[in-house]
Amino acid sequence: MTRDLDSVKESPTELRRRRAFRVRLWIATGCYLIASFVLYQWGHTDSPWRVVWALLPVLFMAWVVILIVLRVRQLDEYQLKLFFPGLAVGFTVSMFAAVTIGTLSAAGFTVPNAGWPVALIGIVSWEVTNLLVKAPVA
Amino acid sequence: MENEMRSERDERGWTQAVLAERLGVSRQTVVALETGKYDPSLPLAFRIAEVFGKPIEELFFPNTGLKSGDQPRRSRV
pLDDT value at residue B77: 46
Nearest CA-CA distance, residue A10 and chain B, Å: 6
- Cα maximum dimension of chain A: 71
Residue B25 backbone phi and psi in degrees, to 5: -125, 180
Domain definitions of chain A by residue range: 13-74, 76-137
CB contact under 8 A, A14 and B27: yes
Enclosing H/E stretch for B61: strand B60-61
Query: Which chain A positions have a beta carbon within 8 Å of B25's beta carbon?
Result: 76-78
pLDDT range class, residue A125, cuts 50, 70, 90: very high
CB contact under 8 A, B6 and A78: no
Q: What is the mean pLDDT of residues A110-118?
A: 86
Q: What is the ipTM of this complex?
A: 0.78
Q: Which residues contact A134 (CB under 8 A, 6 or more apart)?
A: A82
Chain A residue whose CA is closest to B42: A77
pLDDT range class, residue B70, cuts 50, 70, 90: low
Helix (H, G, I), strand (E, B) or coil at B5: helix
CA distance B59 to A123: 41
pLDDT value at residue A52: 78
**Within an 8 Å CB–CB cutoff, is residue B28 touching chain A?**
yes
The winner for highest mean pLDDT among A2-16, A109-123, B28-42 is B28-42
pTM metric for this prediction: 0.77
Contact in structure between A129 and A89 (CB atoms under 8 Å): yes
CATH of domain B2-55: 1.10.260.40
Contact in structure between B16 and B26 (CB atoms under 8 Å): no
Q: What is the mean pLDDT of residues A101-113?
A: 90
Q: What percent of chain A has pLDDT over 70?
A: 93
CA distance B56 to A115: 51
Whether pLDDT at B73 is above 70? no
Query: Which chain B positions have a beta carbon within 8 Å of A81's beta carbon?
Result: 38
Chain A residue whose CA is closest to B8: A2
